[in-house]
Amino acid sequence: MLTSRSVLRALALASALVASTQALGQAVPARQANPSQPQAATYRPEFGTMWTFDAPPLDYWRRTYGFAPDQKWLDHVRLSSVRLPICSASFVSSRGLVMTNHHCGRECTAGVSPPDSNYIQTGFAARTLADEKKCAGLYVDQLQSIQNVTDRVRAAITGNTPAEQAAQRSAVISQLQNECNQQTQLTCQVVTLYNGGIYSMYRYRRFNDIRLVMAPEGDIAFYGGDPDNFTYPRYDLDLTLLRVYENGQPYSPPDYLKWSPAGAVENELVFVVGNPGSTGRLNTISQMEFLRDVGYPATLAAYKRVLAIYAELARTDTSAARRYQNDVFGVANSQKAVTGYRVGLLDTLSMAKKRAFEQEFRQRIAANPQLQAQYGGTWEAIAQAQRELATFSPQLRYYGFGGGSQLLQLGAGLVRVATESSKPDSARLPQYRGAGLNNIRAQLTQPIPIDTAYERLAIAAQLRAAQSALPANDPFIRVALGGRTPEAVAADIVRNTKVGDPAFRQSLLQGGEAQVNASTDRLIVWVRAVDPLSRQVTTRANALNAIIAANSEKIGQAIFAAYGTALPPDATFTLRISDGLVKSFPSNGTIAPYKTTFYGLYERSAAFDDKDPFKLPKRWVERKNNLDLTTPYNFVSTNDIIGGNSGSPVINKNAEVVGLVFDSNIEGISNRFIFSSDVGRTVSVHSRGIVEALRKMYDGSRIADELQGR
Amino acid sequence: MLTSRSVLRALALASALVASTQALGQAVPARQANPSQPQAATYRPEFGTMWTFDAPPLDYWRRTYGFAPDQKWLDHVRLSSVRLPICSASFVSSRGLVMTNHHCGRECTAGVSPPDSNYIQTGFAARTLADEKKCAGLYVDQLQSIQNVTDRVRAAITGNTPAEQAAQRSAVISQLQNECNQQTQLTCQVVTLYNGGIYSMYRYRRFNDIRLVMAPEGDIAFYGGDPDNFTYPRYDLDLTLLRVYENGQPYSPPDYLKWSPAGAVENELVFVVGNPGSTGRLNTISQMEFLRDVGYPATLAAYKRVLAIYAELARTDTSAARRYQNDVFGVANSQKAVTGYRVGLLDTLSMAKKRAFEQEFRQRIAANPQLQAQYGGTWEAIAQAQRELATFSPQLRYYGFGGGSQLLQLGAGLVRVATESSKPDSARLPQYRGAGLNNIRAQLTQPIPIDTAYERLAIAAQLRAAQSALPANDPFIRVALGGRTPEAVAADIVRNTKVGDPAFRQSLLQGGEAQVNASTDRLIVWVRAVDPLSRQVTTRANALNAIIAANSEKIGQAIFAAYGTALPPDATFTLRISDGLVKSFPSNGTIAPYKTTFYGLYERSAAFDDKDPFKLPKRWVERKNNLDLTTPYNFVSTNDIIGGNSGSPVINKNAEVVGLVFDSNIEGISNRFIFSSDVGRTVSVHSRGIVEALRKMYDGSRIADELQGR
């Protein structure tokens, strides 16, 4: 699947931000021309195809495919699309059916399960409307309009320092959102495109009554589990069907996607409409090199350590394997994704293309004295900051409280809340400013289960890694270990701390700085000793990252100044439309076919002797003979997607559903920084597979008829 | 499939050599201890597991698998194995059934087809013994015994120069073979192991009455065609069943392999018994680097040119696509193989292992003054010769008559036969010495079809490649092109030569040197002009290659002196036994299962919309419902194989057939130089798939019963 855990968290935050804003401002239809858009430049494939709905590349489409949709088509498709808190989705019937992925509806599916059963295990298909189950707290957002507000944002930024400018930017964005929310009663969000090259107001209609109509068993939705995750050929029914209700009745959306009779066909033009979360295609070469050589290798090493800890726990405690199954999967998923990101950065051909682009881009800027004055120094400023960051990267990583230990995090929180509380707001560590302090204080009082076996291993592993990455005479090593082994320090801390006890934390929080300073709790003592070193490197890194952020913003503005919307902006978890072809690709010495069929599902089960994670759900064994095994099941296309696109519809030129996006192949993961459709592919459930499964496996003809408009 | 065309040719030659020898000498059973074997050293995985039957690594097997067969088991397995002219095979029933690959029996299957049909297309299964069809000219050889004859060979080599030594070696080997043939009435061959570290007499019993029992359709035997060739997962029934007859009756072999009821099971120990053709694991680093950087890149460029020519022909002439289908496949197969060989050499980790081995090996030699005196200089001698070869590699490749043109080859033959005939034998080019001259003369009088469209393209492509590889002022370019374009020269030669006419060739051969020198035929004139340059570089290269050959022989001897039979010798198309496990492997971001089933066959057909080369034969569509689709069909194991192993049985600890080797996966091709079982795998037809297909698809219960001993 697409959405890595960390992406999930980031997106959940972004979404929470949107949710917390209220309404004002004049709705402007999406088709309105963008007034500040510079003249068109040539499309560059390495920037991908995540187009915004207010700047569709009609000429490029016409040239490439002999097809360009009209505004009516674009409006219809935009209004047929909806966004879930962390996924994409679409209206697919006249009575408000919404199609998304199984992993996007997972929380609802689990939540509406009866006490004696779990729909994630058993699957669920509502026989009648009355059987459809309300998903607590779930909502979908439908994009009503996009308005360019760049001029208003820019006008408000008058300060001289990055800090002043950032505060002014935040303020004007909040103000614009509030105005819009109040004026329109819509959910409004100012979206920062091209790192600030454009600011756009996105206005959403929110639907709050969402009910579960159908979800298959988790084992068929995520068939092949972690091994098959991010790969193709693939055999997953990664589907949830929801229904939007209004006033207790199914909602009849004026715009919804009709169902294609044929489904995706080899070599046909298809569009993916959804909300890609985050890409790094505007990154400079120096940023990419830092990730490739410093950032990602360290991240991957950390994943490896965590997985080793889970494996160690499972070896000695059989229940641990079950208990940590989701965490293991989450880390393995991230590991596969980050490995893929790095593969892209290690590809010398792709990097050469990127280098050539950067050179040409800098020449364009240099050719215009005004642009050169404004942006000429940005690349070197970023490169210098990256170089400096690289010089103390091990210190930044290990001076502190990382490595997955809950206890270290709690201990650090307690010490820092005490220290920061006594300072004026502006002098605090960034996370402790404003509402931050109280939020962290509140979190510290929550009950958090502590697994001491895990804690011992995690702390020891982190200290061992520090020991091997830092010089022997490093001050942190001296303070943190005091001449003892990592294992001894970890065991000592875990044995002799009460920080795992919420009451103890509560009492320390109440006692304030004095009590924290006087505490003889082994963990608190340890944190107090380590914290000054940690603050020092963090402060130094924050300053450098601020330089990078400010200059990245300039890069985005410069790209927009030089190329306009000929290059799509980086992903922002907002609605995009990506063009592509249904297409096989060279793989494993041969050809990966453009589609799979149900035969392949039964092959994979038989080839692995039906062992986990290739075990078929009972229903799929018992009802096998009902199926036409030649029915297309999954397929691939060259569309440009990333985490957040999960649940996006794949549509044909008639705006009919031909599939449901649920993953990228492993070759496509490296598209994060440099897009290529040579072998990278979007993986989708085929529309014919969905209908066949509904009718033959889930007694879901009611639903299939509705999808097919019968 | 395993056997590349070039390997096929080489093996056919090797086999012809064996066939041309006659009989003498004392048969010694294979179990006799090898008297000159030095003390055991540690097994090194990068040298693979192609063990000879007279030096099975019993300790290593016992240590690794807790299993080591006794001598009876080894004799039984050896005598159950047979060798076809270019493949491996085995006795698999008490009535002389022989199992091999479809591509090994192809010539017989096509040859015995009735005039109105082709068994390659239709498949064939004899209903009764009487229906079994005699394969003209086919024979199988059964290895009776192995005797170490190193001392006798060495004693005969007394000369001082490499040329003298080579002649003496040839003479003594011929003498030993003749003695053996006469004494035993067996087919005897002296096999050079470890490049001359050991000479072994292999004695074979030959069976000449071989009949076709069963062969499936070519389209199911080689399902997936060129794309799936050398890959896995795989779905091929690459099977031919033959029967050995004696005196017009089925032969009852005292030793044959019984059929395993279960077939190959995940993680079980299995052995492959067969005749691997050729490996390069004793090559030095400098030889490998030459191939990696000079030899293979040029070979791959040549394949690319030839494929481009076939594609060009197919574009303008629809019949050409059909006509050249086999050639295109042959080149594509070689291209895939050589690409794979090079991948192994480009793998820095593998090469680092090899480098470490070479260093350790040289230290072992250096530690013994006698060995150091004998072998210490070999690595540098080879490296120096390789370096010098590299300096004129483009000249060597392009000064001459290559590029696939029949006309250039014929023209060169005519000119050279004339020139060489007038010299004393020892002064001739090597191929024209002894019987060579008359053989070449005879070949030149054969009718050879000439495709002028192909010839024009091939000559032009070769000259274009020469033009781009050689400096502008190169003498060959001046002489060969004379200021014209490659296309003009090619068109001129093809239009204005009669060399394609056998009668013209005959008349030139009869006219001798004078007539050749006087000829105004455009091609003969061109060859006369180019030939001196060609001879010059060829002579220089021959001298360097002789140095490399003589020193490679020393390397082999040195390896044997330092490690004994702890490292298996390079492949020699003689019987070997390789140990391995039935085992899945990491592939394509996920796991390739240890086996496939018939479900996968139908998946692959459906996923490609049953398009060529994924089209199912009619029988497999019509009788699909007869099959148990969960039956294991193909599987993989970690055994060590290469071209020549095609048709080898895979057996379990009970010496029962569990499968039939037919290919390597693409990851395994690079094992040619450095063996690794990380991801390289042997691909086999599963014994259960064979029986299921015989019974359900081919009305072959008579045959299946015989295999299963019913």
Taking only the tens place, the pLDDT of each residue in A626-668 is 999 999 999 999 999 999 999 999 999 999 999 999 999 999 9
Whether A599 sits inside 8 A of B599 (CB atoms) is yes
Residue A432: CB partners within 8 Å, gap ≥ 6? A416, A417, A420, A440
Among the partner-chain residues A227, A609, A665, the one whose CB lies closest to the CB of B591 is A227
Among A223, A230, A588, the strongest candidate for a mutation testing the B interface, having the largest count of B CBs within 10 A, is A588
ipTM, 2 dp: 0.86
Q: What percent of chain B has pLDDT over 90?
A: 79
A604 part of contact set with chain B, CB < 8 Å? yes
Q: With a CB-CB cutoff of 8 Å, which residues 628-647 of chain A face chain B? A: 629-630
Contact A258, A657 (CB under 8 A): yes
Chain length of chain B: 710
User: Residue A663 and residue A101: Cα distance in Å, rounded?
Assistant: 10
Whether B589 sits inside 8 A of A630 (CB atoms) is no
Contact A673, A280 (CB under 8 A): yes
Instruction: State yes or no: pLDDT of B37 exceeds 50.
Output: no
Lowest mean pLDDT among A17-26, A38-47, A78-87, A450-459: A17-26
Residue B611 main-chain phi, psi, to 5 deg: -85, 150
Looking at residues A425-430, what average pLDDT do you find?
Answer: 82
Lowest mean pLDDT among A416-430, A582-596, B103-117, B319-333: B319-333
Q: Looking at CA atoms only, how far is residue B606 from chain A in angstroms?
A: 6
Residue B243 three-state SS: strand
Band of the pLDDT at B39, cuts 50, 70, 90? very low
Whether A630 sits inside 8 A of B588 (CB atoms) is no
For A67, A174, A189, the CA distances from A204, given in Å and listed in that order, are: 29, 16, 8
- Closest-CA residue in chain B for A591? B227
Lowest mean pLDDT among A241-255, B439-453, B590-604: B439-453
User: Residue B140 and residue B135: Cα distance in Å, rounded?
Assistant: 11
pLDDT at position A7 is 36
Q: What percent of chain B has pLDDT over 70?
A: 94
Among A228, A230, A599, A635, the strongest candidate for a mutation testing the B interface, having the largest count of B CBs within 10 A, is A599
Q: Which of chain B's residues have a Cβ under 8 Å away from the Cβ of A228?
A: 590
A606 part of contact set with chain B, CB < 8 Å? yes
Adjacent-strand bridge partners of B576: B52, B274
Lowest mean pLDDT among A157-161, A494-498, B181-185: A157-161
Cis peptide bond prior to B447, omega within 30° of 0 = no
Looking at residues A577-582, what average pLDDT do you find?
Answer: 98
pLDDT at position A22 is 27
Instruction: State yes or no: pLDDT of B146 exceeds 90.
Output: yes
Q: Which of chain A's residues have a Cβ under 8 Å away from the Cβ of B225?
A: none
Which residue reads 């855990």 in tokens?
Answer: A5
Q: Which of chain A's residues have a Cβ under 8 Å away from the Cβ of B1?
A: none
Whether A227 sits inside 8 A of B590 (CB atoms) is yes
Nearest Cα residue to B357 out of B47, B578, B40: B47
Nearest Cα residue to A184 out of A200, A203, A202, A201: A203
pLDDT at position B41 is 61
- Closest-CA residue in chain A for B265? A609
For residues A664, A666, A669, A675, the Cα torsion angle rounded to the nearest 10 degrees is: -90
pLDDT at position A125 is 97
User: Residue B697 and residue A500: Cα distance in Å, rounded?
Assistant: 68
Band of the pLDDT at B187, cuts 50, 70, 90? very high
Residue that wins the pLDDT comparison between A563 and B526: B526
A595 part of contact set with chain B, CB < 8 Å? yes
Looking at residues A284-290, what average pLDDT do you find?
Answer: 95
Q: Spell out where B278-428 has E strands.
A: none
Whether A587 sits inside 8 A of B589 (CB atoms) is no
Q: Looking at CA atoms only, how far is residue B469 from chain A in angstroms?
A: 24
For A55, A600, B123, B605, B621, the CA distances from B624, given in Å and listed in that order, are: 52, 16, 16, 12, 5
pLDDT at position A4 is 37
Looking at residues A207-229, what average pLDDT do you find?
Answer: 96
Q: What percent of chain A has pLDDT over 70?
A: 94
**Structure tokens given for B337:** 């193989």
pLDDT at position B30 is 35
Contact A296, A324 (CB under 8 A): no
A590 part of contact set with chain B, CB < 8 Å? yes
The mean of the pLDDT values for chain A is 91
B590 part of contact set with chain A, CB < 8 Å? yes
| DSSP codes joined into one string, A639-671 | ----TT-TT-EEE-TTSEEEEEEEEE-GGGGGG
Residue A383 three-state SS: helix
Whether A336 sits inside 8 A of B589 (CB atoms) is yes
Q: Which of chain A's residues have a Cβ under 8 Å away from the Cβ of B666?
A: 588-589
A446 part of contact set with chain B, CB < 8 Å? no
Whether A599 sits inside 8 A of B596 (CB atoms) is no
Please calculate the CA angle A449-A455-A456 and round it to the nearest 5 degrees. Answer: 145
A6 part of contact set with chain B, CB < 8 Å? no
Whether A588 sits inside 8 A of B336 (CB atoms) is no
- Closest-CA residue in chain A for B607? A596
Nearest Cα residue to B93 out of B129, B63, B64, B67: B129
pLDDT at position A281 is 93
Q: Which of chain A's residues have a Cβ under 8 Å away from the Cβ of B596?
A: 603, 607
B370 part of contact set with chain A, CB < 8 Å? no
Whether A593 sits inside 8 A of B608 (CB atoms) is yes
Looking at residues B213-231, what average pLDDT do you find?
Answer: 96
For A30, A148, A254, B494, the CA distances from A79, given in Å and listed in that order, are: 11, 19, 8, 67
Nearest Cα residue to B576 out of B341, B274, B217, B182: B274
Looking at residues B152-156, what average pLDDT do you find?
Answer: 95
User: Residue A82 and residue A273: Cα distance in Å, rounded?
Assistant: 9
B218 part of contact set with chain A, CB < 8 Å? no
Instruction: State yes or no: pLDDT of B375 exceeds 60.
Output: yes
Instruction: State yes or no: pLDDT of B500 exceeds 90.
Output: yes
The mean of the pLDDT values for chain B is 91
Band of the pLDDT at A41, cuts 50, 70, 90? low
Among the partner-chain residues B588, B603, B609, the one whose CB lies closest to the CB of A231 is B588
- pLDDT digits 0-9 by tens, B256-274: 999 999 999 999 999 999 9
Whether A596 sits inside 8 A of B607 (CB atoms) is yes
Provide the 8-state DSSP code for B291: I
- Closest-CA residue in chain A for B613? A591
Whether B609 sits inside 8 A of A266 (CB atoms) is yes
Among the partner-chain residues A231, A266, A597, the one whose CB lies closest to the CB of B606 is A597
Q: What percent of chain A has pLDDT over 90?
A: 79
Whether A603 sits inside 8 A of B607 (CB atoms) is no
Q: Which of chain A's residues have a Cβ under 8 Å away from the Cβ of B595?
A: 607
A105 part of contact set with chain B, CB < 8 Å? no
Cis peptide bond prior to A276, omega within 30° of 0 = no
Among the partner-chain residues A597, A629, A666, the one whose CB lies closest to the CB of B588 is A666
Q: With a CB-CB cutoff of 8 Å, which residues 251-290 of chain B face chain A? A: 266
Instruction: State yes or no: pLDDT of B161 exceeds 80.
Output: no
Instruction: State yes or no: pLDDT of B503 exceeds 70.
Output: yes
Residue B173 main-chain phi, psi, to 5 deg: -65, -45
Contact B122, B115 (CB under 8 A): no
- Closest-CA residue in chain B for A227? B590
Instruction: State yes or no: pLDDT of A167 exceeds 90.
Output: no
Whether B588 sits inside 8 A of A227 (CB atoms) is no
Lowest mean pLDDT among A151-155, A347-351, A418-422, B62-66: A347-351
Q: Looking at CA atoms only, how far is residue B532 from chain A in angstroms?
A: 43
